[in-house]
Amino acid sequence: MLSFWEKETWFRNLDLVVVGGGLVGLTTALSYQKRFPRSRILVLERAPIGLGASTRNAGFACYGSPSELLDDMESSAPEAVWKRVEQRWTGFQKLVNLLGPKNMGYEPLGGRELFRSQALDPLDAVENRLSELNQVLKDVFGAPPFEVEAKIPVELGLKGFARSIRLPFEGQIDTGRTLHSLMRLAREKDIELLHGLKVVDYEDAGWGVWVDTEVGRFRTRNLALCTNGFARQLWPEASIQPARAQVLITEPISGLGLKGIYHVHKGYYYFRNVGDRILLGGGRHKFRQAESTARLVTTAQVQKHLEQFLRRHLSPGLAPLVSESWAGIMGFGAQNEKAVLVEKMSARVVCGVRLGGMGIAIGASVGEQTAALIDA
């Protein structure tokens, strides 16, 4: 139970409680604070640092590779796909403006989409539509965003890829440093962050919201649910599917020439350099049912699959050893769709969830949109 002192100091006269201390929760709190500078805001995060996606992701500042965009068009209208690219591009600029590139460890090294054999990754279908994609998207980026490369540079140390398309506008961030900077900024703005406190229930009483935590109940004028892949724990009927993503990172590799971010097979495999290491993730499409879970553990099956991918596609001379692996949880639509869910759920409760694998690019915009739905 909360003591009198704890209630008085941390839980009195709250204007907004945000549940979830990831990219969206923190940018929701910051955006609300910007709208109402005198408000009292509390962010509640169940884990000591965060335990979802924002401190566990791959750090790609990416806007959609050509095969990913064409794949998206199978389930969404082209206009919706173009719009999403624009939202990702402008959303990432928002995050950079908020924190500054240095505080995010941002490196604009560009990216590539790589194609294996025609049977695995049909390049023809992509090449046939590349000029159409470039034509539409040059207005978003100020220049065509995709360039077919004559030859994959040998110094990258890759093998087993037939062709590549360069994505010069992409970049990479330091995931840990970005969240750390966001937390620091929130504290500087007098936003209270409490870590290690799980919200177990809430009740919109009209005049405000009762919030039930593991240590007791208190009230707030407004509540924002920013729990992404875990949203169904507090909102069982939400149309959100947790999706686990697993990654590994290698030991430092002597002579590594690979720089930038790399996408393979519609983005289902992704890798990048982190200094002189390689971070590799993906393969979720091969184990879709098992990976549709909010359980934060790695599995031998997926890790073995990723290690095989690494061996198959890195030159033997590089001989990487895996140093660490981890998992994170994303939130997708029930049919694996990518639509973000920002909604007023009741008079005083809003949500900003379901960011798929796009949170670095769109997280700050989703936070801003979520905060815009909350009353004073």
Residue 247 sits in the site that holds ligand FAD (CB under 6 A): yes
284 touching ligand FAD, by CB under 6 A: no
**Residues 34-73 vs ligand FAD: string with x where CB under 6 A?**
----------xxxx--xxxxx-xxxxx-------------
Q: What are phi and psi of 347, to 5 degrees?
A: -50, -40
Least gap, CB of 350 to ligand FAD (angstroms):
13
Among 17, 123, 182, 245, binds ligand FAD (CB under 6 A): 245
Instruction: Please identify, among the stretches 2-10, 15-23, 144-152, 317-325, the one whose residues bind ligand FAD according to the rule CB under 6 A.
Output: 15-23
CA 91, distance to chain mean position in Å, is: 12
Tell whether residue 359 is a contact of ligand FAD (CB under 6 A): yes
Task: From 22-30, 67-75, 105-113, 115-123, give the range in contact with ligand FAD by CB under 6 A.
Answer: 22-30
Output 21 or 145, the one with its CB closest to ligand FAD. 21
**What is the nearest approach in angstroms of ligand FAD to the Cβ of residue 347?**
21
Among 328, 332, 364, 368, binds ligand FAD (CB under 6 A): 328
- Under the binding rule (CB under 6 A), the answer on residue 33 touching ligand FAD is no
CB of 249 to ligand FAD, least distance (A): 11
371 binds ligand FAD (CB under 6 A): no
209 neighbors 202 (Cβ within 8 angstroms)? yes
Specify whether the CB–CB gap between 338 and 267 falls below 8 A.
no
Does residue 320 interact with ligand FAD by CB under 6 A?
no
Q: How many residues bind ligand FAD (CB under 6 A)?
A: 42
Is 24 one of the binding residues for ligand FAD (CB under 6 A)? yes
Residue sitting closest to ligand FAD (CB): 52
Binding-residue pattern over the window 151 to 180 for ligand FAD, x denoting contact by CB under 6 A: ------------------------------
- How far apart are alpha carbons 173 and 102 in whole angstroms? 9
Minimum CB separation from ligand FAD for residue 161, in Å?
A: 20
Among 18, 21, 202, 258, binds ligand FAD (CB under 6 A): 21
* 340 is an interface residue for ligand FAD by CB under 6 A: no
Asked if 32 is part of the footprint of ligand FAD (rule: CB under 6 A), the reply reads no
193 is a site residue for ligand FAD (CB under 6 A): no
* Distance, CA of 342 to CA of 351 (rounded, Å): 6
Closer to ligand FAD at the Cβ: 92 or 123?
92
Q: Is 282 near ligand FAD (CB under 6 A)?
A: no
- The token pair at 65 is 């590779």
Binding site for ligand FAD (CB under 6 A): 19-25, 44-47, 50-54, 56-60, 198-199, 226-230, 233-234, 245, 247, 281, 328, 330, 355, 357-361, 363
